[in-house]
Amino acid sequence: MNMKKLIMLYFFLAGGIAANTKNIDYTYLKMQSAPFEVDDDYLSKHDIVYFSPTQLEAEGFPMGNGDIGGMVWNHDNGIELQINKNDLWTKAQPEEYGMSLLKHAVRLKIDFGAPVFSWMHLEEFEGRLSLANAENTYRAVTGYSATTIRTWLAQDRNVWIVECENIPDPEMLGNHSVATVSLERLGSRSFTGWYGGWFAKNPSVGLGKMRAMADAREMILEETDGGLHFAVACRVVESSEEPETVNMRRAEWRTNKCKFTIMVSVATDREDKDPVNAAKKLLDEAEAKGVDELRREKDEWYRNFWSNSFVKLGDDYLENIYYLHRYLMSAGSRGEFPLAFNGGLWRWNRDVLNWGTPHHWNQQQEYWGLCAQNDWRLMKPYLDTYFKMIPFAEKLAKEYGAEHDALLITEAHNFNGVQWGKDKRYLRNNFTPASQIASLFWDYYEFTGDEEFLKERCLPASRAGLKDTLRELSLIHI
């Protein structure tokens, strides 16, 4: 194929891609290349389902709206969840080898005061994560009660909804049953470097500076340690009872209602200078909109999301991987920063991280294939974060002797630009991350045909090599 035909083919393909990417939102796309609709009953074959209670927190269900998320697991008397947020990266922590660490936000626990999910008392049980509408449900019948829990996240605001119903057997529990909703944050060491024994030995490291508060409408936890400032607010909607603080790190709300709804919000000072009031406002707005409307918006978002890509492979295991990966990226990659490679938003063990500051050899793998499966929108946190790191990459390249048009990003780095690995003997001579990042920038351009992105972001990230290649091919004027 001669150069003229190659150039014509390039513009034909690029134009076709660009035509199909004019709508950058998740609207209900009727794409010419894939005129299909994914039925709920097809996706349900890839749901995660338990027919007996789980024994470990790590066996819980991963939930998220792209910015906040967490694991949900059962215990004998109810459920517990650890809520995490995408931007809770600390500043460099001297006690933790100067690493930036992703902290958890809070733990929420619901205890019905009776063994509603105890295996030895069960008549019926099902725990299910529905991929189609991103909902987690628990249903159980015991000799004590019939219990249903339904939990999900709003898609346009950082609010987590938990709908609870526990109908006690009067002969077993009487006519009075009290459920306890607790909100707590117990920080911990990260245990990075656990495999080599080089982690913080002082158990007080990482505990944070938590302050628990309670008023007539909500429980509030506020954290101000490690360069972070965030607040979590929790409300039992339309409850006649009031919450109380247990200590500086825990608050509780007891309700005698058999059916109740919990709302939990998270806000940081990256979003609002007053996270406490911001978290309260999120709950006020969510309550005013109503659970039914929030669910409708969430269902619509996911209906549109699943319509963007579909595969039928004839192999359940491979399809499970494909659809679960799509679900996890939709649930975790819509915040400010890339989804953390080591646990994402679904860590459950307090602040244990095992690997600390981001490592790009691992980080990049979550974003492989997103464009090819038409989920290029979920690339935004990755692209934005590494584009902002260009000045830091240029500075480090000059430290290594480069004169111009060079980027150097160490394998281990903080998302704020600190090149953590530059002085580490086993990392300082790894020169590959910048080219890996440039490859994913180019991947995004190839699948979107976004020439503004190419000029403003892709080329600065790719630097001289890509410039020279494009000049030689004369595909675009730079």
Positions of the chain with pLDDT lower than 50, given as ranges: 1-27, 29-35, 464-478
Predicted local distance difference test score (pLDDT) of residue 36: 55
Q: Please, what is the angle between helix 380-388 and helix 433-448, to 10°?
A: 130
Residue at 153: amino acid letter: L
Do 336 and 87 form a contact (C-beta atoms < 8 A)? Answer: yes
pTM (two decimals): 0.89
Predicted local distance difference test score (pLDDT) of residue 26: 41
Do 136 and 72 form a contact (C-beta atoms < 8 A)? Answer: yes
Task: With residue 376 as reference, give the H or E element that holds it.
Answer: none
Q: Looking at residue 185, what DSSP letter applies?
A: -
CA distances to 336, 369, 397 from 434, rounded to whole Å, are 20, 18, 11
List strand residue ranges (DSSP E) for 190-340, in order.
210-214, 219-223, 230-236, 244-247, 250-255, 259-268
Predicted local distance difference test score (pLDDT) of residue 16: 38
Residue 401 has φ and ψ, to the nearest 5°, of 110, 0
Predicted local distance difference test score (pLDDT) of residue 35: 47
Find tokens 């967490």 and name the residue. Answer: 70
Predicted local distance difference test score (pLDDT) of residue 463: 54
Predicted local distance difference test score (pLDDT) of residue 310: 86
Beta pairing class for 159-168 and 68-75: unpaired
**CA 252 to CA 275: how far, in whole Å?**
21
